[in-house]
Each structure stands twice: as structure tokens, then as C-alpha cells.
Chain A
């Protein structure tokens, strides 16, 4: 008697062969599995490529963002040692004074608040002032010429060689300014720039009156390697006098950081698309493997080991996953061409679109991991398929539930989601909370499906018509697809709907309300001596003075005895160092306004002479400076140190347009400090607005006017664009969700084919089969979509309150629309599935499935 060879080696080439053979007749099914991978990876690769390109572009273009090797800026003229320093640094130097001021276009009598930049020297050394005509960017400094931003030119219909009046001086427009270093399309819309030569600043008369001039010095070095060393010696000197510096390196860092927010949002969107892809993979493979039970049982009969059967399908899935990932990477590389188009107005750099092999590589690896990991759960159940299934198809999978490997796969999946969301969010708690949230959503949906299976059985009444009974019975009968479809439809709905709700909240967050009695015009830089005259002038135009507020510019010197230097040394203090460099525009009054609310402490409206000054801090400022009620602050009020303490902390509704402040002083201390006033009024239309601006500018050239109507329209446009970006990005995820939905419902087709054909053979009419199918999917779709939406409302509420920190409200109409859309989509795809069966002769279908 010969011996059995129990140690047959695993023959990988044969397993590969079997994997390929087996896939041959299932290509269309596997295509559905692929489609979710393709879109998920596509979104991700597009976003990753975009991110890498931005990184590259920031690195390459950082020099043109700043325009020089070193810039020094402060809001007073440097004196003493610093003056000698600023006059001697670098191999080439330029300087600029910039301030906000009204300008007048005499031809059209148009006036508008602009950013005036008085420039001298060869700046920019990198990049250029992009003008029409081209040479105007350098020639305007040779005479009484100005460069005017293109939005201004357009608004007032001005042409090159027209004139523009800045303060007391009239300049000839030498060119139209398209772009200056570091400027974005959006920033020029809100604060358009007018360049004039520095030598004429004096004559405008604005340098004397306006106190809020920024002094900037630009340097070019032949030997740039010496800069870091120079900075070290420069830093303390600059800080002492309240000056800031910027180098190409620091700008690179800052720009990179501001892109990080953008790319983090994009990554999150990509991540959700990817998670949807995972749901698609898991559900498609689940149903696929279920159909393969018989084939696997036959193989087992022939003597294929459990591990070999497992490997055959693992190889197959990995292969298909690889193909899907490669297709996804290709799609993503294509899509990334669209991103810069959508985002170009927000970015100060030109974004190149080049193929990022890094992103492609990451996408492919990720796609492969996901396909295998999320297919693993159904795949391990292959090991438990008994060869007995050849004799009798058994439908109990109790063996799978007990399989300890199942728990390993669950942990791997959780680990993957946690670590991948950590990579996106860069925050462990966030990643864990996110993962737990997904797990809870998953459990809720599974529980709902389970309850559904249990209770429909009890619900069905014999008095119902056959069609109803059959349709509902499909939900619990053996081989039902209730759990898998509920979970996948429900999760896709939850993801789509959450994204949608958050998107709506983000967009509504940035829309400003402007009512009739709300101020829409602000006059500022009013000297104390001009205060009364300007109020009278306003009233003479038939306008109401809604409020008049004094503003004092101060700096923060110490927080509880700690200076900026202390905070830098001791990071455990957690105080944001910027609180010391910022210039605060504060006001003083004896009462709160309507848009303010005390959250802790007590509002004190009057100072007791000789004691510390009781100030009120705005919430976010208190958070940044890490102060609470009772903490001591020392302010520097234009050179005079003032002891104060936090008497109260306020919540401010910043959405309303009024004058709001981070710090409000009580009356009785700042009245004599150097200050200017702000006046708010409401103008009914553009004509009145233009008239007021003209009279004010003529009599008080130092006063600046902001027409909020104009700013709001620019802002509106900006918000529209932001909304568009958000929608565009979310669109990725939503498309993936729909694809997943389609593929999971589509794949369920194969479950019902046999039955529908049998019913037809038994004499059921097409209409009856249609109705039975429609009922089953209608019920599944309704319940899953509803559950998904409820989960989404919960999730978006949590996100809104804890992550985005904004008030929550649900816009019911779109939610209802999503509900109907998803339910309808489920039913339609379900019906399309059965249509294929209904139109073929039953025999053909029965045969191809035997």
C-alpha cells in the first residue's frame, strides 16, 4: 500500500494559472469591483499629485513670492542703529512705504480705497511687476507715474495715460498691474494696489497724516549663503524695535504651511473617496465569493487544500486590484489637470501640472493594499467552504463567525483606517475618533439589517398579495443580500451626505448678512479733530451715523509677567508667540454692543484711577494668549506701558458687520492716547455711495472709505469660488459613492438571476417579477438611505461642533433630495439588473449559471 504524500508543496505557478482561468468568465463582475478602486485611487492620486506639484512649485517659486533675498518691515520709520543698518544691508536695496488710502480717478470721478505702495529701487529682484505695457513695471519710477491694479482699471474704466489722484498729487497711469510678487487674484480684488514712485510720496501729503504706514526694505545679496548667519545677528535688533523680517526660506515655510490646510482638506476628501472604494471592494468581493462557493467546493473535492483555494482567489483579487489601481492612477493623473484650473485664483504661484510618479506609486500601492485588505474578510471564509457543498449547498456560515482569523482581519482593517486617517489628519485622537465613528456607523447598519431580517419574517401577513409577500421575503430568505447591501448603501449614503452637509455648513458659514439697517460703509482714519465735521457731512448727505468708534493701536508686552522672549524659550507656556508681534486696534467704551456676550468674568465699563485697567478679551484672543479672568496683561500704548487685567471674556459674533475688537478697554484711560475714529453708516445705493466718497475725499483726503457693498460683491465672488472648489472636490467622493452603490447593487444581480428565471419558468409574468424586484430594492434602498442619512446628520453635527467649531443646522430640502435620489438609484439599478434576465430566454440564463 503506497503512502499518502501529505506534504505537497504549494505550486504557485499553478495557483496563478487557476486564478487567471477562473477570472476569465467573470470579467464583467470583476470590472464592477475594479470601478470602486479606480475612482477611489483616482481621486487620491489627483490630490497627491496636486500636493506634490504645489510643494515643488513653492520651492521653485518661493523667490518670486517675496521678490528679494531679505525683506524687513515695520510700522514706523527705523531710527538710530536700525536706520544705519537698513541703509547698509545687501548688495542692492529698495524700499517701499505702503498704506491704505482713497484714490480718485478724475475722468470718472470714481474713488476707492486702495493699497498705495510707494516704491524706490530695483525691487522685485526675483519675478517682476507684471504690467501692460510690459516695460511700465520698471519705467514708472522715472517720473510722476503710477501702476494701477487691473480690477481698479476695469471698475473705473480707466486707460493707460489717464490720471489718478493719490492724496494731493495726480499721477499719470503708466501701466495696468496684473500681478505683483506674492499676490493672488483674490487679494487684489479686495485691496487693489496702486504703485507710485517713492520720491513723490511726500507731495501726496498722505505720509504725514496717516500713521499706519508700513515701511518695507528689500535686499538682494550676491552671496546668499551668508543670509542665515546675518539673520541670527539681525533678529534681536529687529525684534527690539518691533520689526519683522522675511527671507526666501521663511516664506517658503509659511506658504507651504498655508497650503497644508488646503491640501489637508483635499486629502480628507480623497480619503473619503477611498473609504467608499473600500466599502465597494468589501461588498463586491463578498458577493463574488459567495457565488464561488460551489466552484471552491468542487476544487476541494478534487483535493485542493483550503490554503490553496484561498491563495487562488487572493492572487485573483490582488491582480484585479493592481489593474484597478493602475487605471485609477492614470485617471487621477488626468483629473489633476483640472485642479489648478479651479484653484488658480487662490494661489500666489503658478501651478505646474506634471506627472508625479511619487503620487502614482503611492496610489498604486495603496490601491493594492486596500483591494487585498478589504477582500480579506470574504476571502478567509473560503478556507471554511466544505467540499460537502458539492453534494448539498449549505448556507450556514457559522464556521466563519467562529474563525479566529476574522478578528485578525478586523484589527488589520481598523489599524489601516486609524493609521491612514492619521496620515491625513496628523492627529492621533482625531484618527481614532474618526475610526470609531466609522465602526459605529458600520455596526448600526449591520444591526439595522439584522433586525430587518428578523422582523420582516414576522411582519409579512398572509393577506398580502403574492408579490408583496415574495418581495419582502427576499429580504430574509437564504442567500439574501440584506446585510451586505444595507451596509454598503448605508455607508455610501452616510459618507456622501456627511460631506454634503459639511460642505453646506462651510459655505453658509462664510455668507454674510446685510440688512437695511446694517452698516455697509465704513469711514476710518478719522482724526479726533475731524470727528464732528465728518459726522455732520454724513448727515448732510441724508445718511444716518450708525456708530462712531474710537480706535487706538497698542501692542501686548507681557502676559502674566512673561515676555515674547520667555514664551520662545519655554514652550510649555503654550502661548502663541504672535500675540506679542500683533498690533491690536482696540477701542474703549462703557457698555457692550449687541453682537457681544460675556462668557466669563464681569464687564467693567469704567477704570478706577491708579488701579490696573479692567479689559475685556475676546474668546479666541484669550485662547491664543492662554489667559483667563484675573490674568495680568501689560500693554504698550504707543510707548507708554499700561498695567491691565482680564476682567471678562467675550464671545463676538464676527459674522455681523460692525466694529468688533479683540480687546475692549473701559472708559477713563485711553481717551488721551493717539487715536483715530471710525464711522459706520448705511448707503442705500451706489450713487449715494459714490457721492459721499467724493465729498469726503475732497475735504478730508486722509480719511479712508470702505464700501462694503463692493467688498461684499468681491467676497461673494470669492465665496462662490470657494463653494465651487468644495463642491468640485466633494464631487469626487460623491461619484465614487455612486459607483460603489451601482456596483454593489449591480453585483447582487447574480444572486437573484436563478430565482427570477425559475419564477418565470413557473409562469410569473415579467411585470410580476419586475414588481417583486422593485419592492425588494425599494425596501432595501429606503431603509439603508434613511439610516445612512441619520448617521450623516449625527456625524456632521459632531464634525461641525467639535472639529470646525461652527453652529449646526440642517438644510432639510437637499437631505430629502439625497434620500430620494439614493432610493431611486437603488431601485433603478435593481430593475436594470433584472431587465437583463427578463429579456433573455430562461434556458440560456439557467445554463450559463449551472
Chain B
């Protein structure tokens, strides 16, 4: 399979200045990710995984280096343009779900589609809720759902705009083993079905082992980049 590149990271650096001192969080990171692949970023706590994910998804801007998403250089794009890139290409899953508390489950799923001004939004969103097994919970607010249910809603939301790439930051970090398994299965199933590229950050090596490739970072540096036998 001729690997087309969806995400390309070159010489990426991120530093924070606080109290006069400079803290280097990411130090010269290089890698690229091919379309349709599944990838895990692993590493000890505080190593910079979340920071890296944020930069890849265009949520933050790098101190130096290049981030290319689907051929678009994010570094010199304004926030508003990055927002539109996200809306069209990117899906998110967060450790703490991040549903809009004032919107019902169904409405949460609808938002990305509504933003794009698409048609038939309600039916498509309801379909997605069906797929994650929450067909009859659409009118519930996030506060009325369990953590696992919330994460499934956020999965439905992440896939609603048919993203080219899906970023997940410890998607199972807040869930028990059984629920985790269900959610993980859903992520991989939906991913395969839609042909989406997956980048997930995790501590869970078992979960990481399910992907095609494991990128390990430590202290802000990329220390290993291995293909798994899943390929």
C-alpha cells in the first residue's frame, strides 16, 4: 500500500517561558503518519505527549518546526483558519470526554455537522448514536450519562464529520477495564469502517499494542518509533 502521508512533523520544538526560565517540553521531534494507519504515542507522565497531540491537531502553535496536516502547513495559519481545518479534517476524543454540558447527547453529535452546514444532520447523528449503542439516550444531557456513555457520545461526535484523522488523548483513562474495552473496540471498528487515521495517546501498553505503530517519547524527545506486528 503506497503510504500517503496525512501528518508530517519536522523539527518540532515547544518551549514554555515561565518565571524567566525556559522549559523545553518538546525537543526536535520528527515523524510522519500515513493515511489510514493507527498510531499510538506513549511515554511517561509529563513527557510531552499531550503537548505533542495538541500541536499535531492544530490546537496550539509550535515554537519552531513544521506541522503539516493533509498537506496544509499549520504553523503559519491563523487560529480561525485552523478551526476550519479542524472542522473539516479532524476528530477529537478526550480523556475527560469534553461534551458541551448544555447540549443533549444528540445535539453534541450534531454540532460538527451543523457547523459545516450539511443536510440531514439529525438522522445521521442519530445513526451514529445507534452505532455507539446509545440510540435512546439522545435527549439526555451529559450530566445524566455515565462516563462510559459520555465517552461513547464523544466518539459519535468525533466521527460525525467524517474526519480524515482522529486524535485521542487517553480515551480510556477515566474508564474501568470493561468499559474501556468496549470503547476501544468501538474506536477501532468505527475507524476501520470510515478509513480514518488514528493517533492516540495512552499509558496503556495493551491498547498501544493494538495499533500499527508505537511512537515513544521521553523528556520531550522521540526515543523510539516501532511498527507493531499488526501491520
Verify that A and B bind, or say they do not.
Answer: yes
Query: A303 within 8 Å of B by Cβ?
Result: yes
A299 touches B81 (CB 8 A): no
B59 in complex: contacting residue of A9, A307, A386, CB < 8 Å: A386
Taken residue by residue from 275 to 312, chain A's Cβ proximity to chain B (1 for < 8 Å, 0 otherwise) reads as 00000000000000000001101111111111100000
Q: In the bound complex, what is the Cα–Cα distance between A294 and B97 (angstroms)?
A: 12
Q: In the complex, are the beta carbons of B70 and A305 less than 8 A apart?
A: no
Residues of A within 8 A of B103 (CB): 21-22
Contact B143 A305 (CB under 8 A): no
Q: Which of A6, A297, A386 has the most CB of B within 10 A?
A: A6
Contacts of A25 in B (CB 8 A): 101-102, 141
A303 and B112 alpha carbons, distance in the complex (Å): 7
Query: Most chain-B CB neighbours within 10 Å: which of A18, A303, A386?
Result: A303
Chain B hits for A848, CB < 8 A: 143
Interface-lining segment among A36-44, A158-166, A388-396, A685-693: A388-396
A5 to B88, CA, bound (A): 8
Say yes or no: B101 contacts A850, CB within 8 Å: yes
Per the bound structure, the CA–CA distance linking A9 and B142 in Å amounts to 30
Is there a chain B Cβ closer than 8 Å to A839's Cβ? no
A11 vs B101: C-alpha distance when bound (angstroms): 22
Q: 1/0 per position for B60-85, CB-CB distance to A under 8 A? A: 10000000001110000001110111
The residue among A6, A298, A299 with the most chain B CB atoms within 10 A of its own CB is A298
Task: Quote the shortest CB–CB distance from B31 to chain A (angstroms).
Answer: 20
Instruction: Say yes or no for A387: interface residue by CB 8 A criterion.
Output: yes
Q: Please report the C-alpha to C-alpha distance between residue A846 and residue B72 in the assembled complex, in whole angstroms.
A: 41
Q: Which of A4, A297, A847 has the most CB of B within 10 A?
A: A4
B195 within 8 A of A: no
Tell yes or no: B115 within 8 A of A by CB.
yes
State whether A26 and B60 are in contact (beta carbons under 8 Å apart), knowing that A8-B84, A391-B94 are contacts in the complex: no
A850–B142 touching, CB < 8 Å: yes
> How many A-B contacts are there with CB distance less than 8 Å?
110
Q: State whether the Cβ of A24 lies closer than 8 Å to any Cβ in chain B.
A: yes
Q: Is there a chain B Cβ closer than 8 Å to A1's Cβ?
A: yes
Within 8 A of B (CB), among A549-599: none
Assess the B83–A303 pair: CB atoms within 8 A.
yes
Which of A11, A17, A295, A303 meets B100, CB within 8 Å? A295
B53 at the A interface (CB under 8 A): yes
Instruction: Please classify how large the interface on chain B is, using the bins under 10, 10 to 19, 20 to 34, 35 or more.
Output: 35 or more
CA distance A23 to B100 in the complex (A): 12
Decide: A298 and B59 in contact? CB cutoff 8 A.
no
CA distance A306 to B111 in the complex (A): 15
Residues A4 and B98 in contact in the complex (CB < 8 Å), given A14-B114, A303-B115: no
Q: Is B99 an interface residue (CB 8 A)?
A: yes
Q: How far is B143's CA from A9's CA once the two chains are assembled, in angstroms?
A: 33
Q: Is residue B152 contacting chain A, with contact meaning CB distance below 8 A? A: no
- Please judge, given known A-B contacts A25-B141, A299-B111, A850-B96, whether A391 and B169 are in contact too, CB under 8 Å: yes
Q: A4-B88, A391-B53, A850-B142 are in contact. Are A298 and B83 (CB under 8 A)?
A: no
Q: Quick check: is B159 within 8 A (CB to CB) of the other chain?
A: no
> Which residues of B sit under 8 angstroms from A24, Cβ to Cβ?
102
When the two chains form their complex, are residues B50 and A391 in contact, meaning their CB atoms are under 8 A apart?
Answer: yes
Q: Is the CB of A386 within 8 A of B83?
A: no
- Given A306-B79, A391-B53, the answer on whether A1 and B98 have CB atoms closer than 8 Å is no
State which of A17, A301, A303 has its C-beta within 8 Å of the C-beta of B98. Answer: A301
Asked if A392 contacts B115 (CB within 8 A), the reply is no
**B24 proximal to A (CB < 8 A):** no
Determine if A14 and B115 form an interchain contact, defined as CB atoms under 8 angstroms apart.
yes
- How long is the Cα–Cα vector from A386 to B59 in the complex, in angstroms? 7
Residue-wise, chain A 19-61 has the 8 Å CB interface mask toward B (1 for contact) of 0011111100000000000000000000000000000000000
Partner of A301, one of B86, B107, B141: B86
A390/B115 in contact, CB under 8 A? no
Query: Do A1 and B70 touch (CB < 8 A)?
Result: yes
Contact A304 B83 (CB under 8 A): yes
User: Are the CB atoms of A306 and B86 closer together than 8 Å?
Assistant: no
How long is the Cα–Cα vector from A831 to B114 in the complex, in angstroms?
42
On whether the beta carbons of B84 and A4 are closer than 8 Å, the reply is: yes
Q: In whole angstroms, what is the CA distance A689 to B101 when docked?
A: 80
Contact yes or no, A302 B111, CB < 8 A = yes
Bound together, the chains give a CA A306 to CA B96 distance in angstroms of 23
CB within 8 Å of B: which A234-250 residues: none
Q: How far is the CA of A663 from the CA of B75 in the complex (A)?
A: 84
Q: Which of A1, A391, A849 sits near B54, CB closer than 8 Å? A: A391
CB–CB B59/A391 < 8 A: yes
Q: Distance (Å) between the CB of B159 and the closest chain A CB?
A: 13
B107 partner, pick from A21, A307, A386, beta carbons under 8 A = A21
B102 touches A305 (CB 8 A): no
Closest to B154 in A: A298
Check B143 against A847 for contact (C-beta < 8 Å). yes
Q: Which residues of A contact B116 (CB under 8 A)?
A: 8
Complex CA gap A530/B142 in Å reads 98
Q: Which residues of B contact A (CB under 8 A)?
A: 50, 53-54, 57, 59-60, 70-72, 79-81, 83-90, 92, 94, 96-103, 107, 111-112, 114-117, 141-143, 157, 161, 169
Apart from A295-B102, A304-B87, what are 11 other A-B pairs with CB-CB below 8 Å?
Answer: A8-B87, A9-B117, A24-B102, A295-B100, A298-B100, A302-B115, A306-B80, A387-B59, A392-B50, A849-B101, A850-B96
A residues with a Cβ closer than 8 A to B are 1, 4-6, 8-9, 11, 14, 17-18, 21-26, 294-295, 297-307, 386-388, 390-392, 847-850
6 A-B residue pairs with CB within 8 Å = A1-B71, A14-B117, A22-B103, A294-B98, A302-B92, A303-B84
Interface pairs A-B: 7 shortest CB-CB = A303-B87, A25-B102, A387-B59, A303-B86, A22-B102, A848-B143, A305-B80
